[in-house]
Structure 1
Amino acid sequence: MSNALAIATVTTALAQIVRTAVQSVLPGADVLTDRPDSTPLGQPRVRLYLYQVTPNSSLRNHDLPARSADGRLVKRPTAALDLSYLLAFYGNENTLEPQQMLGATVRDIHAKPVLMRQMIEDAIASEPFLATSNLADAVEQIKFTPLTLSLEELSKLWSVFFQAPYALSVAYQGTVVLIESEESPHSPLPVLRRGEEDRGVQLLLGPFPIIDSIHIGAPEELGLHPRITAYPSVQLGTALIIAGRNLVGEQIQIQFNHTRLALIRTILIPANDRSDSELRIMLADDGPAQTGWAAGLYTVTVLVKNGDVERMSNQLPLSFASKVNNIVPANPIMRDANGDVTMTITCGPVVRTSQRAALLIADREIDAEPHPIDTATLQFIIEDAPVVNDALIRLRIDGVDSLPFRRQGVPPPPRLVFDNNQKVTIL
């Protein structure tokens, strides 16, 4: 999803594409992002004008409902928009400069109709007012398609530009731009048990090799049957039990691929930790692991190698949560004269510079202060901090929340309880 600068970012990126195109045929040409008028232009120019914004018919209601029955926000509303642009070409008609620029523009947009991440990042870097735009991180890519306008539609369109003479023009539509609300929805606590005996959903997939499920738990659970409640996310120091079929071979590896970062971790499974239907690994919680992993979403794949033949399984998603190691100051935390609180949280693994970190407390979501280097220490300034007593806090890194609970084995059987070391009191 994108913030309110998404539309301006798309316009700037499209202007760069058009500018590159027209300068390939007329080196002195340029692009103006304003409305057509009667002002004479001495050199070849293209006027790029966003003349209409309409809801996208396919995605306009994809996020409904955004609120619960009692009116509480459960997810951020998102506006899905289509952008309609008019490109008007001005130049020397004797040498057909408008037609030359039109041909180059149509050629380049048709060849590269999708705004790639690098194009968007270049557009953001070119204009200081776009510095906080996050369109480059959007899941939906912007695609440009030419609009077929009849003579009547074209006449009506140009009639809105008062006293502007008609110029050779073409229209394009950019779709789809998703703009997300800045409201913070209520974040529910994690589910500690899913269904009878915590069995969850059983998946049957094919063909081989196949991953059916991933169980996340404490290291001491590797030999337990039946297993107790699974964790919702993996952390450093936890165990993974991957269940499936046809997971046997001369060499078995598990590949973890981070969905946002250029980070791939591959772990070789020893013979005594694997079988045809189960793979068992324990993630280390040491120095190399603190810098080698990153919180966020991963895809998990099993690689089975026999001789020169390597087969790859299906992929399952895996959320990797940050671990809260320390909270400063200690409880109770006193608000300052302005009612603010500054809280420092030490976590693991380290948070990369491109990752978004936020603190969840009560019904508040507070972004971390900027961290220009990879760090395990994050600072949060809570303005007008709420007065709370033993409130659970969670650290959200790239959309994955830390686990505010711990495993308690006494009295048996083992169960999950909320962690008192992750509770804060603010007075």
Structure 2
Amino acid sequence: MSNGTAIAAVTATLHNLLISGLHTDIDLQDATVTMLPLDRARDNSNNANQLNIFLYHVLPSGSWRNMGIPGLTRSGVGAAPVLGLNLYYLITAFGQENDAKRPFSHHLMGQAMSTLHDHPLLGADEIKAAYPKNDLWAQIERVRLTLQPFSMEEIAKLWTGFQTQYRLSVAYEAAVVLIESTRATPVPLPVLTRGPADSGVIAQASLVPPFPTIDQVTPPNNQPSAGLGDLLVFTGKNLAGTQVALQFATARLAVPITLPVDAGATDTQMTVKVPNDPANWPAGMYTVAAVVSGNGGPDRTSNEMPLAIAPRITSALPMTASRTTDGNAQLNLTCSPEVRPEQRVALLLGSREILAESFSAQTGDLTFIVAVAVPGDFWIRLRVDGVDSQLVNYATTPPTFDATQKVTIQ
């Protein structure tokens, strides 16, 4: 996912890549890279080598039309679709002294195309460093650069529209850029039973692979997500070894967290306790894989299984909030784990989704403004990166709502 800075982040990343690529050539040390409209790109007083990047066209991505972001769009919950965009750039070369002595524009174009050919995917670190306050680097898809061929007719039409003289140019597509919608959407409460007597279909694999395989991750009390301090039970096949560890990876951490399994692990089951470390275990979606060492061979890594680490509201609940004279209500909550500025944090008040007030540093204190608040009692959930705090107790039959997770607005 990304915000409105995504397009600028792609342009800035291209700018940095081309500067680095040009300056590796000793003959192009004076070259500059600009990002101007083509009718203003070349100053009459500028006789140095120059490349110009111009975003001339933006199209919607056909593969992302009416699609939500995986992980943030849950089954049965409507959400505003992501804005998927394909960006089209024109790279124009201006040679030293207008190529009077040497065809420097050709040299520039060749070096630029070589750089982009060797760098077809924009790296997360490159995007992060290129433009402030962008989160394009964290989106689920990588941004890929593709050379776009032009016919003579297309070239003529394009430069006629620019109303400037033709210069040696080449076009590239940068796809795909995903911009998340900021619209709030209704969020229904969870389903407690699936038909009479909670009937339903459970599908289970029957093939036995010869390598370590995790079939299931079970949080305590049959909850759909785990919290800090919870004991997780992993079941599968071929999980025994001299040393067995679990790797927890998430987009919010640069390096996966590795935890040794508890004593008593078998070939089909093992347990591990999630550390109660609010500062270093952000809430959200994780992938978990087992690394099995020993057995006279190299380390073997299992398949990855998804795991949701849920936030927990640590404020005293139930709580009461009073409306102000303008009809709004303010809710101040504390939570665990701590949330980070790049995470999406919202409070689900009944069926309303209310985004948290902005914060600049990692924190466990959150503020929510309920606009045009309606008096009454409401179930509440804290949602961080698409994972909700626990509202339903699945240990009972049938499941019940946790009576403490309420807010009364007066």
TM-score interval, normalised by the smaller of the two chains: 0.7 to 0.9
SS of residue matched to 2:404: helix
Amino acid of the residue matched to residue 33 of structure 1?
A: M
State the shift of 1:420 in Å: 1.9
1:388-426 C-alpha deviation (Å, 9 max, x unpaired): 4221111112221111133666xxxx5532112211011
Deviation at 1:37, TM superposition (A): 2.1
C-alpha spacing 1:283/1:100, structure 2 compared with 1 (3 Å): closer
Partner of 2:213: 210
Match of 1:277 in 2: 268
Q: Is the 8 A contact 2:223 2:393 kept in 1?
A: no
Q: How far is the alpha carbon of 1:234 from its aligned partner?
A: 0.8
Once the two structures are superposed, residues 76-106 of structure 1 have per-residue CA deviations (whole angstroms, 9 ceiling, x without a partner) of 2123222111122223211322122112211
Matched, 1:257 2:249: yes
Q: Does 1:149 align with 2:156?
A: no
Superposition map of 1:301-316 within 5 A? 301-309=289-297, 310-316=299-305
- Map 1:387-426; keep pairs closer than 5 Å: 387-406=374-393, 415-426=398-409
Q: 1:364 to 1:207 in 2, by over 3 A?
A: same
1:232-247 residue pairs with structure 2 within 5 A?
Answer: 232-247=224-239
Shift of 1:124: 0.8
Distance 2:193 2:300 in 1: 34
Quick one: which of 121, 130, 152 aligns to 1:123?
Answer: 130
Quote the sequence identity (%).
Answer: 35
Residue 114 of structure 1 deviates from its aligned partner by 1.4
Q: TM-score, normalised by structure 2?
A: 0.84
Q: Which residue of 2 aligns with 1:67?
A: none
Structure 1 contact 210–245 (Cα < 8 Å) conserved: yes
Equivalent residue runs for 1:282-361 within 5 Å: 282-283=273-274, 285=276, 289-309=277-297, 310-327=299-316, 331-352=319-340, 354-361=342-349
Give 1:72-83 correspondences, 5 Å limit: 74-83=78-87
Gaps (5+ residues) in structure 1?
A: 65-71, 126-130, 219-229
**Does the 8 Å CA contact 1:407/1:415 hold for their aligned counterparts?**
yes
Separation in 1, partners of 2:57, 2:372:
42
Equivalent position SS for 2:3: coil
- Alpha-carbon separation, structure 1, partners of 2:77 and 2:362: 33
The answer to whether the aligner puts 1:90 opposite 2:94 as a matched pair is yes
| Cα distance between partner residues in 2 of 1:408 and 1:356 | 29
Paired letter, 2:240: V
> Which has the larger displacement, 108-117 or 366-375?
366-375
Distance 1:172 1:354, change over 3 A: closer
Name the residue aligned to 2:18.
18
Aligned partners of 1:198, 1:188: CA distance in 2, in Å? 21
Which residue pairs with 1:225 in the alignment? none
Match of 1:34 in 2: 36
What is the CA distance between 1:159 and its match in structure 2?
Answer: 1.1
Per the TM alignment, residue 266 of structure 1 is displaced from its structure 2 partner at its CA by: 0.7
Residue identity in the other structure for 2:334: T
What amino acid is aligned across from residue 335 of structure 2 in structure 1? C
1:68 is aligned to none
How many angstroms does 1:382 deviate by?
0.7
What residue in structure 1 maps to residue 261 of structure 2?
Answer: 268
1:69 aligns with none
1:50 aligned partner: 55
Q: Which residue of 1 aligns with 2:72?
A: none
Give secondary structure in 2 for the equivalent of 1:421. coil
Q: Secondary structure at the match of 1:347?
A: strand
Change in Cα spacing, 1:166 to 1:46, as seen in structure 2 (3 Å) is same
1:63 CA drift (Å): 4.9
Unpaired segments ≥5 residues, structure 2: 70-75
Deviation of 1:238 (Å): 3.3
Structure 1 stretch displaced more, 148-157 or 259-268? 259-268
Greater shift after overlay, 236-245 or 190-199? 190-199
Amino acid at match of 1:51: Y
Contact 2:146 2:172 in 1 (8 A): yes
What residue identity is the alignment partner of 1:418?
A: F
Q: Is the 8 A contact 1:252 1:269 kept in 2?
A: no
SS at match of 1:58: helix
CA contact (8 A) 1:78 1:180 kept: yes
Question: What does the per-residue CA deviation read over 1:124-175, in whole Å, with 9 as the maximum and x for residues that have no partner?
Answer: 13xxxxx3x321221111111211112222122111122x111111111111
Give the 3 Å change call, closer, same or farther, for CA 389–322 of structure 1 in structure 2: same
Q: What's the RMSD between the two structures over aligned residues?
A: 2.9
**Do the aligned partners of residues 57 and 416 (structure 1) sit closer, same or farther apart at CA in structure 2, a change above 3 Å counting?**
closer
Cα distance, 1:194–1:257 mapped onto 2, change above 3 Å: farther
Deviation for aligned residue 1:283 = 4.2
Contact 1:2–1:178 (8 Å) recurs in 2: yes
Q: Confirm or deny: 8 A CA contact 1:327 1:344 kept in the other structure.
A: no
Aligned residues: 391
Task: Report the CA distance between 1:6 and its aligned residue.
Answer: 1.7
